[in-house]
Chains A and B, each alone.
Chain A
Amino acid sequence: MYVAVKGGEAAIANAHGLLAHDRRGDTAVPELTPEQIREQLSIAVDRVMTEGSLFDRDLAALAIKQARGDLIEAIFLVRAYRTTLPRFGFAVPLDTAAMRIRRRISATYKDLPGGQVLGPTFDYTHRLIDFALAAGTPVPEPQTAPADTARAPRVTDIIGGEDMIERNPPHDPDAPVGDLTRDPLAFPAGRDLRLQNLARGDEGFLLALGYSTQRGYGRTHPFVGEIRMGEVEVEFFIEDLGFAVSLGEITVTECQMVNQFKGSATEPARFTRGYGLGFGHCERKAMSMALVDRALRADEFEEERKAPAQDEEFVLSHSDNVQSTGFVEHLKLPHYVDFQAEITFLRELRRKHGAAQAGPQHIMPEAAE
């Protein structure tokens, strides 16, 4: 139990002053601007937006600067900021099939309509430190090639054309969509709430859970059907106008995982699916999300639930790094009264134990008193 304490105002103010000083670092080195973070640490910005659950590149960049690069702290700042703004409403669901694709790969089909486009990827790099970057060498213009204007169908739609993959639950525009920012999470959660929870969940936590399914803790035999990254339009219905308008474009990463097939006496066998989607370029996160989404569907496919990644309550209750850090880090706050009670109780136990074992002559004097 945490009991409130008073006092320490001057020390706290000075500590925050010292934090600001240390954040700045050596003043002989130029100060970072949020614009530099936004443009040059863009993957960190994307992670803060995805797990902060707020698409705003400038805000995420500023939060990273304020948090000294502590991304969970930055996510916390973004989450706190969003509570200060009114909500105008809900956007029309994003159409990822209409994405302006900058990266699109499939591990299931070598040749697919629309092609495999590597885009700006760390894949196939040698992971050697590039000392030329330290010297600030100018970057040459990227190569260009004639673009294919054909629409790139989702790989899952190609498999779906042969009816060899389960269909997604149908979209009903009038059906309510669960929102865990408004209503507390209850179990069992629908897939809508699970996907919302996973979309804002901690990348490291979901990565570890996804990895655990690959190692046998809730195995789902995944293939990356497709990963695509690029720009999609955000559309919003304006009541006063009576029609939907575009608010602009955002970058998202989508992962379609194709998993272990399932059939029954009445249904032919079909591949099953796991789905991942996040803000910006967040491939590892989208893949991990898709693995965990599929693992959490164990009951739907009558799979025995025995691994952590299949346990909805365990996964959804511990995926949020702001909640996690809040409860873990609160242990740092003064627990003096609580601990004093434990000390008193323990002394009493030990006194009784000592008295029973060897008699009163062995009881130590209490040095602290």
Chain B
Amino acid sequence: MDKHHPHAPPRAAIIGTLARAETSELREAVHAHWPGLQWREAKPAEAGLVMLRGRTGGDGAAFNLGEATVARAVIDLETGERGHGQCLGRDMEKARLAAVFDALWQRETDRDAVERHVIAPVRARIARQGANDAARAAATRVNFFTLVRGED
């Protein structure tokens, strides 16, 4: 996402990775590395809609394409850091956990651990899946050649 928003802060990339994590990846990381972590919801987690937009002809004026479900949560750690979690779908647990890791990442003492135990493994999995998709698609790359038909 840095390529779209050269000025987006590093935190935006962290939040973006958390949105693409599996709920189980986040849940297991909390249990393994932050057992007994205390936090409270600053706002009740909720599911809602975001209207997605396309662009006329791919790069022109915007139009409303259709909505997507989105779950979001805002949590506070005991030490005061506020985390925002939001992801496609209706999984409120995932939104809460994403918010927890966004908050932990802001805590100097936990930033490295969040990057090592959560962000890096999730990014590695996404990269693996992406490479796999790309390699399978590449095997279907076709080179058509044209033939002259008839005598004319």
Assess whether A116 is in contact with B86, with CB atoms less than 8 Å apart: no
Bound CA span A248–B138, Å: 24
Bound CA span A55–B72, Å: 16
Q: Does A94 contact B (CB under 8 A)?
A: yes
Bound CA span A121–B141, Å: 12
Selecting from B14-22, B24-32, B33-41, B112-120, the interface stretch reads B14-22
Interface residues on B, range: 35 or more
Known: A55-B88, A100-B134, A243-B8. A89 touches B19 (CB 8 A): no
From residue B82, how far is it (CB to closest CB) to chain A in Å?
8
Assess whether B52 is in contact with A192, with CB atoms less than 8 Å apart: no
Binary per-residue interface labels of chain A (233-266) against chain B in the complex, 1 for a CB within 8 Å, 0 otherwise: 1111010110111111110001010000000000
Chain B at the A interface: SS class: mixed
A290: nearest chain-B partner, CB-CB: B57
Q: Which of A85, A116, A146, A177 contacts B62 (CB 8 A)?
A: A177
Bound CA span A191–B64, Å: 11
Bound CA span A95–B136, Å: 23
From residue B138, how far is it (CB to closest CB) to chain A in Å?
4
Q: Does A61 contact B (CB under 8 A)?
A: no
Contacting residues of chain B (97-147) with chain A, CB-CB under 8 angstroms: 130-146
Assess whether A191 is in contact with B63, with CB atoms less than 8 Å apart: yes
Bound CA span A92–B139, Å: 33
Bound CA span A246–B4, Å: 11
Assess whether B130 is in contact with A90, with CB atoms less than 8 Å apart: no
Known: A110-B146, A192-B63. A85 touches B69 (CB 8 A): yes
Q: Does B56 contact A (CB under 8 A)?
A: yes
Assess whether B61 is in contact with A91, with CB atoms less than 8 Å apart: no
Assess whether A145 is in contact with B53, with CB atoms less than 8 Å apart: no
Known: A94-B65, A196-B63. A156 touches B70 (CB 8 A): no
Bound CA span A171–B58, Å: 10
Q: Which of A92, A97, A102, A238 contacts B53 (CB 8 A)?
A: A92
18 of the cross-chain contacts (CB-CB < 8 Å) are A59-B69, A86-B48, A90-B50, A92-B53, A94-B54, A98-B3, A117-B137, A143-B139, A171-B55, A191-B61, A192-B61, A236-B50, A244-B5, A244-B8, A245-B15, A245-B19, A246-B1, A246-B20
